[in-house]
């Protein structure tokens, strides 16, 4: 079959790498892809939100499966666009429809969903511009620190953790009355601060049955020791030692089953991935957020631990036969180190020539923000490459990924050398 992946980051590179290995995949296309995805398939110069362009390409190239990488096209309704089109409606899309994508697209929607289905999550209340005064009063009783979340998509910037009442009131005012995050903060969720260690759990579902993919821990801060500004993600490790079988069983019973059943009860179809961001507090899972797609850079580590045919699993999701499919997970450890551009996550350097990737043998170099200038591979994004290793034990995996990252060079190159070492 011919498969189209939408997206251009490290996540999509890892999907492409895995899908290209499947005997079921004939031709693989990545739209728009990056300089690395051409190793696995053909790049197509289309934006992920250009639905008409995607339509033309899909029909012209006999695509029989579309895998959506990022959240934006899902929240904008790419799956619904297919279902509402006579010629596209039988071409399966992996990724939820617009309504279900609200689990990520609206923090308020996801909190209401969790409350309704008794899924453990922090206490909260939602406010709008009209109820700003009540919000300011609510903050005086909410306790500190307190978490303020812009309701809509804010590219990972819409969550503020405030340590004083003055700061919280100021931020709430800016978000609601001054549109600090644009339309995304026209509604704000105020929630209780949870302490603990974060964990990412991934579920694949066809709306009826589900499979739990390898869990992962990601590292969001730019600096070593988890310091400095937030980024899109600086590395990931899978498995996560504290997420043992007993803990994951708790996650399954308290979070995963009620989530899948809750969607069913609410009559919300869901074919795709559910990324559950958890806080582990004293051995209990609390949901921080849902995402309606896989994580980046978690996908890079997760794909390396899947030993079964990924296209077969995707078909199971698309056709509603996921319960008949086999998911084999490697017991080995996968580690991913993300290499970023100088200056990132602030204004960063671009168009720098990347050298040294030919020296990497033990790890896979997944491209993220890369392109070509004809002769050279150059940097174009903030997150440039993701170096992923699979080894028998965690120490070796962490060391190998870090060592391999240091074999690559571009002007301004930076990566964290401590990814995963806190877990040892």
Ligand X SMILES: Nc1ncnc2c1ncn2[C@@H]1O[C@H](COP(=O)(O)OP(=O)(O)O)[C@@H](O)[C@H]1O
List the one residue from 94, 103, 168, 288 that touches ligand X (CB under 6 A): 288
- Report how far apart, in Å, the C-alpha atoms of 25 and of each of 304, 311, 314, 341 are: 18, 7, 11, 33
Which DSSP string do the residues of 156-199 spell out, in sequence order?
A: T--EEEESSHHHHHHHHHHHHHS-TTGGGGSEEEEEE---SEEE
Shortest Å, Cβ 218 to ligand X: 9
CB 18 within 8 A of CB 306: yes
| Residue nearer to ligand X on the CB measure, 50 or 289 | 289
- From the list Mg ion, ligand X, none, pick the one residue 122 interacts with, judged by a Cβ distance below 5 to 8 Å according to partner type: ligand X
Stretch that binds Mg ion, among 126-134, 252-260, 284-292, 374-382 (CB under 5 A): 284-292
| Residue nearer to ligand X on the CB measure, 147 or 378 | 147
| Under rule CB under 6 A, residue 287 binds ligand X | no
| Under rule CB under 6 A, residue 156 binds ligand X | yes
Residue 412 φ then ψ, to 5°: 90, 0
Q: What 3 state SS string does 188-203 have? A: EEEEECCCCEEEEEEE
| Under rule CB under 6 A, residue 278 binds ligand X | no
| Residue nearer to ligand X on the CB measure, 252 or 289 | 289
Residues in Cβ contact with 347 at an 8 Å cutoff, skipping those fewer than 6 apart: none
Strand arrangement, sheet containing 364-367: 217-223, 227-238, 333-340, 383-391, 364-367
Tally of CB atoms within 10 A around 171: 19
| Residue nearer to Mg ion on the CB measure, 18 or 107 | 107
- From the list ligand X, Mg ion, none, pick the one residue 269 interacts with, judged by a Cβ distance below 5 to 8 Å according to partner type: none
Shortest Å, Cβ 386 to ligand X: 18
| Under rule CB under 6 A, residue 194 binds ligand X | yes
- From the list Mg ion, ligand X, none, pick the one residue 217 interacts with, judged by a Cβ distance below 5 to 8 Å according to partner type: none
Stretch that binds ligand X, among 152-160, 165-173, 258-266, 369-377 (CB under 6 A): 152-160
Which DSSP string do the residues of 42-97 spell out, in sequence order?
A: EE----TT-HHHHHHHHHHTTEEEEEE-SHHHHHTTHHHHHHTSTTTTTS-EES--
| Under rule CB under 6 A, residue 30 binds ligand X | no
CB 225 within 8 A of CB 407: no
Stretch that binds ligand X, among 93-101, 134-142, 193-201, 387-395 (CB under 6 A): 193-201
- Report how far apart, in Å, the C-alpha atoms of 14 and of each of 5, 8, 22, 26, 186 are: 11, 10, 13, 18, 35
| Residue nearer to Mg ion on the CB measure, 252 or 289 | 289
| Under rule CB under 6 A, residue 197 binds ligand X | no
Residues in Cβ contact with 64 at an 8 Å cutoff, skipping those fewer than 6 apart: 1, 2, 3, 91, 92
Query: Does the N-terminal peptide bond of residue 32 adopt cis geometry, omega within 30 degrees of 0?
Result: yes
Residues 109-138 contacting ligand X, CB under 6 A: 122
Map residues 88-107 to x or -, x wherever contact with Mg ion holds by CB under 5 A.
--------------------
| Residue nearer to Mg ion on the CB measure, 145 or 277 | 277
CB 290 within 8 A of CB 309: no
CB 368 within 8 A of CB 10: yes
- From the list ligand X, Mg ion, none, pick the one residue 193 interacts with, judged by a Cβ distance below 5 to 8 Å according to partner type: ligand X
| Under rule CB under 6 A, residue 228 binds ligand X | no
| Under rule CB under 6 A, residue 284 binds ligand X | no
Stretch that binds ligand X, among 57-65, 67-75, 188-196, 307-315 (CB under 6 A): 188-196
- From the list ligand X, Mg ion, none, pick the one residue 159 interacts with, judged by a Cβ distance below 5 to 8 Å according to partner type: ligand X
d(CA 248, CA 202): 11
Binding site for Mg ion (CB under 5 A): 277, 289
Binding site for ligand X (CB under 6 A): 122, 147, 149, 156, 158-159, 191-194, 198, 277, 288-289
């Amino acid at each position: 079959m011919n498969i189209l992946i939408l997206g251009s980051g490290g996540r999509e590179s890892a999907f492409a790498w895995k899908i290209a290995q499947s005997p079921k995949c004939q031709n693989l296309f990545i739209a728009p892809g990056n300089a690395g995805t051409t190793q696995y398939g053909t790049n197509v110069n289309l934006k992920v939100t250009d639905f008409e362009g995607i339509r033309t390409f899909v029909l012209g190239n006999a695509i029989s499966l579309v895998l959506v990488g990022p959240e934006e096209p899902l929240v904008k309704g790419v799956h619904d666009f297919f279902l509402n089109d006579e010629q596209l409606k039988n071409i399966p899309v992996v990724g939820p429809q617009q309504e279900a994508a609200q689990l990520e697209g609206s923090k308020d929607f996801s909190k209401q969903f969790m409350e309704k289905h008794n899924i453990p999550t922090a206490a909260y209340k939602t406010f709008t511009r009209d109820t700003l005064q009540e919000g300011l009063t609510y903050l005086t009783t909410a306790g500190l620190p307190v978490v303020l979340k812009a309701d809509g998509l804010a590219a990972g910037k819409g969550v503020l953790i405030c340590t004083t009442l003055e700061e919280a009131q100021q931020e709430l005012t800016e978000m609601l009355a001054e549109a600090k995050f644009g339309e995304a903060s026209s509604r704000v969720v105020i929630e209780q601060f949870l302490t603990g260690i974060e964990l990412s759990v991934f579920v694949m579902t066809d709306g009826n049955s589900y499979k739990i993919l390898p869990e992962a821990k990601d590292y969001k801060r730019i600096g070593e020791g988890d310091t400095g500004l937030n980024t899109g993600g600086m590395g990931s490790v899978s498995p996560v030692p504290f997420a043992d079988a007993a803990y994951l069983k708790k996650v399954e019973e308290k979070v995963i089953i009620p989530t899948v059943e809750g969607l069913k009860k609410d009559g919300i179809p869901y074919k795709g991935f559910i990324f559950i961001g958890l806080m582990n507090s004293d051995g209990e899972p609390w949901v921080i957020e849902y995402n309606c797609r896989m994580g980046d850079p978690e996908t890079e580590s997760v794909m390396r631990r899947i030993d079964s045919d990924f296209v077969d699993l995707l078909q199971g999701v698309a056709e509603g036969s996921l319960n008949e499919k086999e998911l084999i997970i490697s017991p080995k450890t996968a580690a991913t180190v993300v290499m970023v551009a100088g200056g990132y996550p602030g204004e960063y350097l671009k168009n720098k020539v990347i050298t040294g990737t030919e020296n990497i043998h033990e790890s896979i170099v997944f491209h993220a923000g890369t392109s070509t200038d004809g002769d050279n591979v150059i940097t174009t994004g903030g997150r440039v490459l993701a170096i992923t290793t699979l080894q028998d034990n965690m120490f070796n995996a962490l060391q190998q990924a870090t060592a391999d990252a240091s074999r690559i060079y571009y002007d301004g190159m930076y990566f964290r050398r401590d990814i995963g070492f806190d877990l040892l």
